Copies of this chain bind each other. A is one copy, B any other.
Amino acid sequence: MPKVVCLGEIMLRLSAEAGVRLQQTQQLEVFYGGGEANVAVSLANYGHQVQFVSKVAENGFGQAAEQHLRSYGVATDYLLKADGRLGTYFVEQGTSQRATSVIYDRQDSVFARMTEPEWELATLFNKTDLFHVSGITPALSPQWQTLTLELIRAAKSAGCKVSFDCNYRQNLWSQSEAANFLKKVLPLVDYCSAGKLDAIHLLGIPEAGTDITYYYQKMQELFPNIEAFYSTNRIVHSTCINELQGTLWLNGSCYTSKNHLIDPIIDRIGGGDAFSGGTLHGLLKGFSPEEVIEFATAAAVLKHSVKGDCNQFNESEVLQFSKSNSAAIKR
């Protein structure tokens, strides 16, 4: 199986039970996750050799983050530990029309405070097929913008493909900051998760209806080096009821998955990462474009049915779900 390196921050997630506000709650459920870490877990579940490259706190929570990754078979040879804090986020789950809200408490984490690569770049990408990183990482600090580019260049030099998930977060940087960075990074990227809103607000493509094909085409014109673009179209009926459909742009064609109704949603966080993980798996494994997008969307839908940030399903479970026509009890 191909070897993959994912880099990013892994955080402590603390969630109140659905129907209980943060100010009411007397207990919080503990999870660990982060955009790239969730992709790493998905790819390890599918059988890839995955290294997760990051830095965590030298305490029980940093150790738990490592145990979380290892439990799914993600290698942690490049997971540094240092005194300091682990980035944290709190989730107040919405319900019905009330939206879920997230409070980030990630400033000054040991990861966010990094200023230079502390891993041996010479060997990091040895025999690696794919390097995956998301737009959350450069958004953490100006130093991380520099570092992200430096790492991507090292990966390219080592002959490995680069995957980049735009993952724009408005509370971390402005649209113009993100746009500036994208201009620098996208010429180095092979696989890119980006949708209509990224196209318009970050890449300056004029709005023109809702057909995603148009936006993919325009992005492809700007970055002819990119092999594949992908994104989901999500219709939010309520916090608990969404529709989800995936799209993939590959070799000048747009492929669309079947549309899934998700009712009810158990945990929406990590849905996009499960979609990225599924897409990258399909691309690495040489699925047909139709197979890639059905697999990726099925993976994303399944993620909504389990608690926690990361996908808990292996390749055969995702395939079986993708092809199944019934939710009848299995016994």
Contacts and interface: CB of A to CB of B under 8 A. Distances in A.
A21 B61 CA distance: 10
Contact of A60 (B21, B107, B236, B321): B21
Interface stretch (A152-160, A181-189, A279-287, A301-309): A301-309
User: How many copies of this protein are present in the complex?
Assistant: 6
Contacts of A266: 18-19, 95-96
A47 to B, nearest CB: 14
Interface string A82-101: 00010010101011111111
A319 interface: no
Candidate in A25, A60, A171, A302 with the most chain B CB atoms within 10 angstroms? A60
A169 interface: yes
- State the majority secondary structure of interface residues on A: loop
Interface residues of A, number: 77
A198 B331 CA distance: 16
A304 B20 contact: no
A60 B241 CA distance: 25
B30 A29 contact: no
A265 B19 CA distance: 9
Interface in A1-42: 14, 18-30
A222 interface: no
A263 B96 contact: yes
B264 A329 contact: no
B99 A23 contact: no
B92 A105 contact: no
A4 to B, nearest CB: 17
A28 B25 contact: no
Contacts of A21: 60, 306, 312
A68 interface: yes
Nearest to A76: B73
Contacts of A329: 94, 99-102, 268-269
A307 B26 CA distance: 12
Contact of A98 (B14, B30, B239, B305): B305
A240 interface: yes
A21 B317 CA distance: 13
Contacts of A14: 14, 28
A23 B107 contact: no
Contacts of A301: 96-97
A71 B68 contact: yes
B102 A22 contact: no
Contacts of A263: 96, 238, 240-241
12 contacts: A19-B266, A19-B306, A23-B64, A27-B28, A60-B90, A85-B105, A88-B105, A96-B304, A98-B302, A98-B327, A237-B327, A240-B264
